[in-house]
Amino acid sequence: MSVSRPVIAAIHQPQYLPWLGYFAKMDQADVFILLDDVQFKKNDWQNRNRIRTPQGWQWLTVPVRHRFGQTVAEVEIDRRAGDDWARRHRKALWMNYAKAPFFERWRPFFDRFYTARWERLVDLNIEGVKALAGMLGIQTPMVLASEFRVRRQGTGRLIDLCRAVGADTYLAGADGNKYMDRALFDASGLRLVFQEFAHPVYRQQWAKGPEDFVSRLSVVDLLFNHGQDSLNVLRGEQT
């Protein structure tokens, strides 16, 4: 008798040029739900991330205009300075990665990405997440949480979203126990598993050796350094 394979859902806010662990979770899931209808947190990973520089690392931060209580989908990019933030981000990538082995491979996307006129942060982030997943070769389907009628808060929302996409297993982040009601989840009948992600140490622009490696950067750092082999690196299957 054959045993049916579990259907795994992972849920996360749309982030700006996310780090490796974000895509490792996506790679392990059968469906990835972009949580676009939760409260925005300024200067969290939703509007900034880090890249490698000769001095170590630097932030790339998208300026936003928001009011307390707004959802991720409601936050606007602050255009009072025009597209200056986009020019700075594009220039930072060029200055710090132009000599990386695979910079030119991905440069056309980033040229388009940073010359497009973005109004809402969520649109910028979702376009980036989808494009970066494609560059990695991750084919996990993505859906928006706002497309479903579910409970609005906490663990109940997670349970409802899993059921809405037909999942029987929820892949939570390593710190999931800090924000979840385990008793409620256990009573739901859904299986709960936690991500176990070991950050790889890979060949990195500006690093003189493993001891000089900077971890937890945006996934663009991996892509510029390893190109089509990035997914193998992400999975810990470096050749």
Cα(155)–Cα(181) distance, rounded to whole angstroms?
Answer: 6
Q: Which amino acid is at 234?
A: L
Question: How far is it, in rounded angstroms, from Cα 55 to Cα 96?
Answer: 10
Please give the model's pTM, rounded to 2 decimal places: 0.94
- pLDDT at position 1 is 42
* Token code pair at residue 236: 């810990």
- Identify the residue whose tokens are 């070769």: 137
Domain ranges of the chain: 8-234
Half-sphere exposure of 104 (CA within 13 A, CB side): 2
Instruction: Report yes or no: 50 and 96 within 8 Å, Cβ to Cβ.
Output: no
d(CA 40, CA 47): 9
Q: pLDDT confidence of 239, banded at 50, 70, 90?
A: low
72-81, 101-110, 172-181: range with lowest mean pLDDT:
172-181
Cα–Cα distance for residue pair 190/118, rounded to 1 Å: 38
Distances (CA, A) of 126 to 66, 123, 143, 196: 18, 5, 10, 24
Q: What is residue 4's predicted lDDT score, i.e. its pLDDT?
A: 67
Please compute the mean of the pLDDT values over residues 152-168 and round it to a whole number.
91
